[in-house]
Structure 1
Amino acid sequence: MKYALIGDLHSCFEDTNAVLQHINQTAEDATIIGLGDLFECKIGKKRAKNIRGLAFEEAAEHSEHFSNLLQFPSVRGNQEERIMQVTGLRTFHELPEILKIDGAHIIHGHQFKWSLDWKPLLTDAKQSVFFFGHSHDSAFYKKGKRKSFTYGKPIQLKQKKYGVNVGAVIGSREWCLYDSTARTVTFMKAKQMKKHSS
């Protein structure tokens, strides 16, 4: 089975729409799954400790156009958790913290411990393949060591432990194609719009 994994959308309609179109063009038979931080919380982590009872519109960057794109299951990210914290709403409570798919687990990544240079410490991961996001930095880890990759070129998975940071939709338009039957991971990137000079 093929999975198109996307994370860290942060309420960006243009980048999310571009990635979804790219998935439709290159892997239309793939099941799309979100890795959390679908929405952007307007309240920073420090301020959020003392704020409660906000309306959803005050807490989250939100548009109907963007929400209409979210027609796929997702795990819950730290942005969703903070929005619920400052609003008191259970808007994203039904989103699981972790999803199990064929031969892999999906998690946002804020649950991991991270080094000062934003390397995830995956020593506690029991599943052989972990897909995550959170740091907005696409990366491929084999037995805890970061390995190089080429966009669009499948990586063959063996019986090792892997950590796959799918990168960010916002700003980078990155996503990951996972083929559980062929046991391959392919880092993908939708094209950026060319900016016209005025």
Structure 2
Amino acid sequence: MKYALIGDLHSCFEDTDAVLKHIQETAEDATIIGLGDLFECKIGKKRAKDMTGLAFEEAAEHSELFNNLLHFPSVRGNQEERIMQVTGLHTFEKLPETLQIEGANIIHGHQFNWPSDWKPLLTEIEQSIVFFGHSHDAALYKKGQKKSFTYGKPIQLKKKKYGVNVGAVIGTREWCLYDSTERTVTFMKATQREKHSS
């Protein structure tokens, strides 16, 4: 089965729309799954500690256009958790913290221990493959080491443990194609729209 994994959308309609169109063009039969931080919380982590009771509109960047793109299951990210914290609403409680797919585990990644070099410590992961986001840094980890990759080129995974950061939709328009039958991972990137000078 094929999965198109997307994370860190942060309420960006243009980049999310571009990625979803790219998935449709290149992997039409793939099941799309979100890795959290679908929305952008307007309140920073420090300010959020002392806030509650805000209206959803005050706490989250959102639009009807963006909301209409969200027709896929997703895990919950730290942005969704912060929005719930500062509003007191239960808007994203139905989003699970983790999801299991064939041969892999999906989690946002803010739950990991992230050292100062932003290389996640994945020692507590039991599944052989874990897909995550959070740091906006597309990367393949094997035995704790970052491995090189080429966008659009499938990587054959051995019977080892892997951590796969699918990258960010916002800004870089990255996503990841996982084929559980072939046991391959392909880092993908929707092309940026060219800016024409007037």
TM-score where L is the length of structure 1: 0.99
Structure-2 residue corresponding to 1:144: 144
Check if 1:97 corresponds to 2:100: no
Cα deviation per residue 1:66-115 (whole Å; 9 max; x = unaligned)?
A: 00000000000000000000000000000000000000000000000011
Structure-2 residue corresponding to 1:164: 164
Shift of 1:158: 0.8
Once the two structures are overlaid, the 10-residue window that deviates more, 51-60 or 119-128, is 119-128
Cα deviation per residue 1:33-85 (whole Å; 9 max; x = unaligned)?
A: 00000000000000000000000000000100000000000000000000000
The code of the aligned residue for 1:3 comes to Y
Runs (4 or more) in structure 1 with deviation over 4 Å come to none
The code of the aligned residue for 1:18 comes to A
User: Quick one: distance in 1 between partners of 2:175 and 2:108?
Assistant: 14
SS in 1 for 2:83: helix
Structure-2 residue corresponding to 1:21: 21
Number of residue-to-residue matches in the alignment:
198
User: Quick one: distance in 2 between partners of 1:154 and 1:80?
Assistant: 31
Q: Percent identity?
A: 82
User: Quick one: distance in 1 between partners of 2:121 and 2:159?
Assistant: 20
User: Quick one: distance in 1 between partners of 2:123 and 2:147?
Assistant: 17
Structure-2 residue corresponding to 1:56: 56
Structure-2 residue corresponding to 1:11: 11
User: Quick one: distance in 2 between partners of 1:39 and 1:160?
Assistant: 33
User: Quick one: distance in 1 between partners of 2:164 and 2:49?
Assistant: 31
The code of the aligned residue for 2:10 comes to H
RMSD in angstroms over aligned alpha carbons? 0.5
TM-score where L is the length of structure 2: 0.99
Cα deviation per residue 1:164-186 (whole Å; 9 max; x = unaligned)?
A: 00000000000000000000000
User: Quick one: distance in 2 between partners of 1:2 and 1:34?
Assistant: 14
User: Quick one: distance in 2 between partners of 1:28 and 1:18?
Assistant: 14
Segments of structure 1 that go 5 or more residues without pairing to the other structure are none
Structure-1 residue corresponding to 2:77: 77
User: Quick one: distance in 2 between partners of 1:186 and 1:143?
Assistant: 19
Alignment of 1:177-188 (within 5 A): 177-188=177-188
Shift of 1:197: 2.2
SS in 1 for 2:178: strand
Structure-1 residue corresponding to 2:115: 115
Once the two structures are overlaid, the 10-residue window that deviates more, 118-127 or 26-35, is 118-127
SS in 1 for 2:68: helix
Cα deviation per residue 1:93-143 (whole Å; 9 max; x = unaligned)?
A: 000000000000000000000110111011111111000000000000012
